[in-house]
Amino acid sequence: MSFANVADRPESVFTIQCRVLHALILRELKSRYGNRRLGFAWALIEPLVFTSVFVFVFQLIGRGGAPSGIPITLFFVAGISPFFMFRDIFSEVAQGTRGNQSLLMFPQVTRMDLLIATLIVNSLLSISVFILLVLGLFFAGVTFQIENLPGVMVGFSLLILLGLGLGLVVGAVSIRYEFVKKISEPILGKPLFLTSGMFFTASMIPPFAREYALYNPLLHCIELIRSSLFVSFNSRYINLDYVCIFAIVQIGLGLMLLGFFERQRK
């Protein structure tokens, strides 16, 4: 479906908007995975490889089990896959605030449409990968009982909002200062990676380090996902109010900065 054809049909604004988003989603999927030899499989292979590496390292150092009797492989899947979703959304949203200028020539396409399409593609793909990994482990004999499915969904939803917010802020500022996008990943990436809780829980780190690690909202989200996913694990360090406020402030600031720098660029 072309964007030009969308304008030729006498349809409601909502219907046209849905068609525009549908076309943008298909374009996003094709541009990201259509030209890759592995295609969608890469989205599944990457967290699987990281999980295998962490499991191997833990077994190598004599730590074959995870806290509260959680299967070690599932413990890492519940941390790595959500983090990768946040990382991908952040990166793609930040890039989307500056790219795809040619699509904005169509009157039906707005910057927000591009961001929404990017958000939908990355979110659904990452959640699908997580479900496939969990189901794969279940059929491979890794038994577990989900305690609170809505809690898992809330954890993923908050990660989506955090990725959107941070991506908007970095992407908006990089419209004016291009170097921001280049330095954001090394500056933000490693601290977020190391304190996100992918390979540990909040209770596993010393109190003085935990005090600073809990400033990372990703840690709260991953703790929530694990607490909701496993009956045997319950974290007392989750602060959803902090995460929600952090995400809302980021998104609001990002949208304001995006509008400001877009107007300046015009």
Backbone phi, then psi, for 12, in 5-degree steps?
-70, 160
- pTM recorded for the entire structure: 0.87
Query: SS3 of 240, please?
Result: helix
Q: What is the CA 26 to chain-centroid distance, rounded?
A: 19
Position 98 in a domain: yes
Q: Which residue has the higher pLDDT, 30 or 226?
A: 226
Residue range 223-261, pLDDT digits in tens: 999 999 888 888 899 999 999 999 999 999 999 988 887
| C-beta separation of 228 from 151 below 8 A | yes
Integer angstrom CA distances of residue 209 from 54, 76, 187, 215: 21, 21, 19, 11
Dmax (CA) for the chain in angstroms is 67
Q: What is the percent of the chain with per-residue pLDDT over 70, rounded to a whole number?
A: 85
Position 4 in a domain: no
Position 195 in a domain: yes
Position 233 in a domain: yes
Position 251 in a domain: yes
Look at residue 39 in the predicted model and tell me its pLDDT.
64
Round to whole Å and give the CA distance between 181 and 171: 7
Residue range 57-112, pLDDT digits in tens: 887 876 656 677 788 889 999 999 999 999 999 988 888 766 566 666 666 777 78
Q: What is the percent of the chain with per-residue pLDDT over 90, rounded to a whole number?
A: 34
Give the domain range for residue 169.
37-265
pLDDT-derived band at 9 (thresholds 50, 70, 90) equals low
Closest by CA to 88, choosing from 149, 136, 47, 34, is: 47
Integer angstrom CA distances of residue 131 from 109, 141, 232, 237: 32, 16, 20, 25
Position 8 in a domain: no
Split into its structural domains, the chain has a count of 1
Integer angstrom CA distances of residue 10 from 37, 93, 145, 185: 40, 31, 51, 44
* DSSP character string of 69-136: G--HHHHHHHHHHHHHHHHHHHHHHHHHTTS-GGGGGSTT--HHHHHHHHHHHHHHHHHHHHHHHHHH
Residues 6+ apart with CB under 8 A from 30: none
| C-beta separation of 6 from 23 below 8 A | yes
Residue range 129-169, pLDDT digits in tens: 999 999 888 888 887 778 889 999 999 999 999 999 999 99
Integer angstrom CA distances of residue 221 from 43, 60, 65, 224: 21, 28, 22, 5
